[in-house]
Amino acid sequence: MSPEAPPPAISKVASAESKTARRAAIPLAADIIIANAPDPVFVSDLEGKILQANDAVFELLGFRPAELIEQSLSRIISPEETRDFMLALDEVVEHGVTRNAVLNPRSASGEIIPTTLNASALRNSDNEVIGAIGILRDMRELDKARAFAVGLIENAPDPMFVSDLEGKITLANDAVSQLLGFRTDEVVEQSVSQFISQEETRQFTAALREVVEKGVIRNVTLSPRTATGEVIPTSLNASALRDSEGKVIGAIGILRDMRELDKARAYAESLIKNAPDPVFVTDLEGKITLANDAVSQLLGFRTDEVVEQSVSRFISPEETRQFTDALREVVEKGVSRNASLNPRAASGELIPTTLNASALRDTDGNVIGALGILRDMRAYRKVVRDLEQSKSELQEKILDLEKFEEVVVGRELKMIALEKEIDALRRETDQRAGK
């Protein structure tokens, strides 16, 4: 044995004293918190040696305390992750904390366990950093959930993609490729701005900000350019993608191909414009957004004098309130029938009409306005007036007939009475002649 080497007994004592000194550096309160924490918590010095670990660490890794305490963390992680852990310790010394460091420790059974590490500084009484308190999060269940979510996205029938907060696409399913005509590897890791205009890129960036603030964004209009150069009208609904701490790290977007819907809308607008009856569309505030030629013919205004105007411009305040009630009924029941309106024409004439209205809905089924059909009641009211006049004339004729009947009947009664008197006189004359 070298004369410089201390006797074994002295070495053991020194080791025990060193261990006791390091353990004494951990405040009592922290000691209790670590021991009773439900998550795997450990303490290491600045060289990466494990000084303390709670039962959750031993349950996670399957080692006995004696197999981990006073051991270097490099024993259970790879050399690459050991370097990452030492960098995390440097960050703890500089900033007091490090977050979401990826570690994959090997358990006693040989299983590699995916975890994330959050660590904060352990300080002595002089406020010097002497180590780190680390909290491990078992990512196995989260990884399963992520894999399940990725599977849902990849197998979704609608075009779905994931982007980070800078607009870079990190995941896209086959439906996106089918929509745009690009291979998946031509879409993933590309910026959304590659497929849309500069103006829509600004709108998409604003949508991402709204996702961060509110967690969701709906019906953003995007017109991506396909591999063939075709511009495809789509609407985007997006929700927040969050990390394990609930922080928004990106967005999950669902695109809806609006080509067929646009065709349907164009067809519906054509039906409205070519309808023989006066048909118009309003939003829920009563602003007219579409009106056909029959409305112009009814009121005597040009179409551009009707569209973008409030219905209240053409009807009285009282009827405006009734129209607002009809809109509420449309929202609640989907339909309103036979509301009475008397719009004022360009000539100043009040035109009696009845309104039947049904709900106008967006692609999510929300009521966004009303589709109204007016019925010009002037001809109907003329018929009613004519019928009432005919009825009045008929009643007069009936009265005349009744009077005539009364006269005729009275005359008949008088004739009968006269005949009876004549018969009586005749009998009386006969009787006298017989005597």
Contacts 24+ apart (CB under 8 A), 345-352: 345/298, 345/299, 345/300, 345/301, 346/299, 346/300, 346/301, 347/300, 351/298, 351/299, 351/376, 351/378, 352/376, 352/377, 352/378, 352/381
In terms of domains, do 123 and 232 share one?
no
Which residue type does 219 have? N
The answer to whether position 99 is within a domain reads yes
Domain final residue pick, 232, 257, 282 = 257
DSSP 8-state code for residue 215: S
* Short-list 185, 161, 183, CA closest to 171: 161
Q: Which CATH number goes with the domain that contains 188?
A: 3.30.450.20
Q: How far is CA 398 from CA 170, 388, 392, 409, in A?
A: 90, 15, 10, 16
Q: How many domains does the chain have?
A: 3
The answer to whether position 336 is within a domain reads yes
pLDDT of residue 2: 40
Assigned token pair, 267: 């067809």
Q: Is 45 exposed, middle or buried (0-12, 13-18, 19+ CB in 10 A)?
A: middle
In terms of domains, do 288 and 229 share one?
no
Residue 393 zone, left/alpha/beta (φ > 0; ψ -120 to 50; rest): alpha
The answer to whether position 75 is within a domain reads yes
Write the pLDDT tens digit of every residue in 135-145: 998 888 767 76
Cβ-based neighbour number of residue 187 at 10 Å: 19
Q: Where are the alpha helices (DSSP H) in 25-78?
A: 28-36, 55-61, 65-68
Q: What are residue 287's phi and psi, to 5 degrees?
A: -85, 130
In terms of domains, do 237 and 282 share one?
no
Q: Is 126 exposed, middle or buried (0-12, 13-18, 19+ CB in 10 A)?
A: exposed
The answer to whether position 429 is within a domain reads no
Domain final residue pick, 89, 122, 138 = 138
Residues of the chain with pLDDT under 70: 1-30, 142, 145-146, 435
In terms of domains, do 130 and 149 share one?
no
Backbone CA torsion sign across 175, 176, 178, 179:
positive
DSSP 8-state code for residue 106: B
The answer to whether position 403 is within a domain reads no
Distance from C-alpha of 159 to C-alpha of 168, rounded to nearest angstrom: 16
Please, are residues 162 and 154 in contact by the beta-carbon 8 Å criterion?
no
In terms of domains, do 107 and 164 share one?
no
In terms of domains, do 231 and 339 share one?
no
In terms of domains, do 249 and 154 share one?
yes
Distance from C-alpha of 422 to C-alpha of 410, rounded to nearest angstrom: 18
Give the range of the structural domain holding residue 280, as residue numbers without chain letter. 261-376
In terms of domains, do 71 and 130 share one?
yes
Please, are residues 196 and 161 in contact by the beta-carbon 8 Å criterion?
no
Please, are residues 263 and 274 in contact by the beta-carbon 8 Å criterion?
no
Assigned token pair, 27: 């405040």
* Short-list 51, 46, 135, 25, CA closest to 93: 46
In terms of domains, do 107 and 34 share one?
yes
Which residue type does 287 have? K
Domain final residue pick, 257, 272, 300 = 257
* Short-list 280, 371, 367, CA closest to 331: 367
Q: How far is CA 304 from CA 290, 291, 308, 341, 386, in A?
A: 10, 9, 8, 21, 37
The answer to whether position 4 is within a domain reads no
* Short-list 258, 257, 317, 259, CA closest to 286: 317
In terms of domains, do 252 and 266 share one?
no
Which residue type does 381 have? R
In terms of domains, do 289 and 228 share one?
no
Half-sphere exposure of 148 (CA within 13 A, CB side): 6
Q: Is 218 exposed, middle or buried (0-12, 13-18, 19+ CB in 10 A)?
A: middle
The answer to whether position 342 is within a domain reads yes
* Short-list 287, 299, 267, CA closest to 374: 299
Cβ-based neighbour number of residue 53 at 10 Å: 24
Which residue type does 14 have? A
The answer to whether position 2 is within a domain reads no
Q: What are residue 110's phi and psi, to 5 degrees?
A: 95, -5
Distance from C-alpha of 379 to C-alpha of 381, rounded to nearest angstrom: 5
Q: Full-prediction pTM beyond 0.75?
A: no
* Short-list 158, 185, 190, 182, CA closest to 255: 158
In terms of domains, do 190 and 282 share one?
no
- Whose structure tokens read 């070495």? 11
